[in-house]
Amino acid sequence: MAKMRAVQVTSPKGAFQLVERDIPEPTARQVRIKVEACGICHSDFFTKEGYWPGIKYPRTPGHEIAGVIDAVGDGVPEWKKGQRVGVGWHGGHCGYCDRCRRGDFVTCQRGQIPGITYDGGYAEFVVVPFEALARIPDGLSAVEAGPLLCAGITTFNSLRHSGARAGDLVAVLGIGGLGHLGVQYSAKMGFRTVAIARGQDKAPLAKELGAQLYIDSTTENVSERLQKLGGARVILATATSGEAMTATLGGLGVGGKLVMLGASPDPVTVNPGEMIGARRNVAAWPSGTSIDSEDTMAFSMMTGVRPMTETFPLERAAEAYERMLSNKARFRVVLTMGQPR
């Protein structure tokens, strides 16, 4: 049987191992993807450290998968060998739980996640349910598409469902793996975009990405500055700091909304009196489904939004993962399996 290379974790907190495995065969309602690139996301930490309940080891991480359909199982409609496709956090749904019956597939009670509930994209081939597939448009490389299937969809989808309208003030907290895309999407959607981060060194990049204004949270009171600008309709919180999110709440305008995307380990502290008087809201947003991924990539193609990436070959996955954890990457780390398009 033909072999492939894959990077696996054999136990919680275990080391990455580059191994040789049989190339998997798709069963009914599945397709096999020849992986060209796979982004490394901070959420891969759940698999590496064993923080997601029920993971079966050994497990291959990776949910920012871009490649080409290589084989099609029985009962798969429309999808054909040779099509360029991607798979993100939403790796399939059951179709029969209450959430699925209401069409809310991304919160499926039995939802599947590549790299967590089944082997993901740190490999040369991966098998996935056809419901998870998103078409990659021509003109978008596999290296560019991978991060858009997680960081991209999360920021794009949350903004378009935030209630903000063209011309509204939208602040993006954090300029990192999520934030550098959030600033771009906010500007391209026609919002008056403010970027918030620590230090003046990020100001030039923020402006380059499309922000009209930059706030250095180490030297300015973020809430006061936002209020002087009229108050934010939306604050897109991409930084993984509950303290930093809390410091922005006073900058919301009447009816403003803090949308949490960064999975902070520390809490956000809310003063009910300050929230009630101005009808302020605190919300959160999880990724999206495969059609949302297609919308994200189509909008990115149309407007020129692209992730900033650093690439590593598959055999250097451990190094690439540590680069991601260091917060020094600019800004998404992507594994490649040869010569992606």
Q: Are residues 16 and 141 in the same domain?
A: yes
| Chain mean pLDDT for the chain | 97
Q: Are residues 78 and 101 in the same domain?
A: yes
> Rounded to whole angstroms, how far apart are CA atoms 302 and 46?
34
Interior angle at CA 233, CA 286 and CA 207, nearest 5: 85
Phi and psi torsions of 202, nearest 5°: -90, -10
Q: Are residues 219 and 237 in the same domain?
A: yes
Mean pLDDT confidence for 2-10 = 97
pLDDT band (50, 70, 90) for residue 340: very low
- Could you report the per-residue pLDDT of 66-117, keeping only the tens digit for each? 999 999 999 999 999 999 999 999 999 999 999 999 999 999 999 999 999 9
- CATH number of domain containing 37: 3.90.180.10
Mean pLDDT confidence for 131-153 = 98
Mean pLDDT confidence for 22-50 = 97
Q: Are residues 234 and 205 in the same domain?
A: yes
Q: Are residues 192 and 258 in the same domain?
A: yes
DSSP string, 114-174: BTTTB--SSBSEEEEEGGG-EEPPTT--HHHHHHIIIIIHHHHHHHHTS---TT-EEEEE-
- Could you report the per-residue pLDDT of 248-294, keeping only the tens digit for each? 999 999 999 999 999 888 999 999 999 999 999 999 999 999 999 99
**Cα dist from 322 to 40, 92, 169, 283, 326, whole Å:** 10, 28, 36, 31, 6
16 within a domain of the structure (yes/no): yes
Which residue has 């798979």 as its token pair? 87
Residue 121: pLDDT above 50?
yes
Mean pLDDT confidence for 49-56 = 96
Do residues 236 and 173 touch, judged by C-beta distance below 8 A? yes
Q: Are residues 7 and 144 in the same domain?
A: yes
Domain total in the chain = 2
Check residue 1 and give its pLDDT.
79
Q: Are residues 201 and 109 in the same domain?
A: no
pLDDT band (50, 70, 90) for residue 191: very high
DSSP string, 189-253: TT-EEEEEESSGGGHHHHHHHT-SEEEETTTS-HHHHHHHTT-EEEEEE-SS-HHHHHTTGGGEE
Assigned token pair, 254 = 């009447």
pLDDT band (50, 70, 90) for residue 341: very low
pLDDT band (50, 70, 90) for residue 307: very high
The type of residue at 52 is: W
Per the structure, the complete domain to which residue 57 belongs is given by: 3-149+288-336
- CATH number of domain containing 267: 3.40.50.720
155 within a domain of the structure (yes/no): no
pTM higher than 0.75: yes
> Rounded to whole angstroms, how far apart are CA atoms 313 and 336?
5
Check residue 338 and give its pLDDT.
76
CA within 13 Å, CB half, 85: 30
Q: Give SS3 for 17.
A: strand
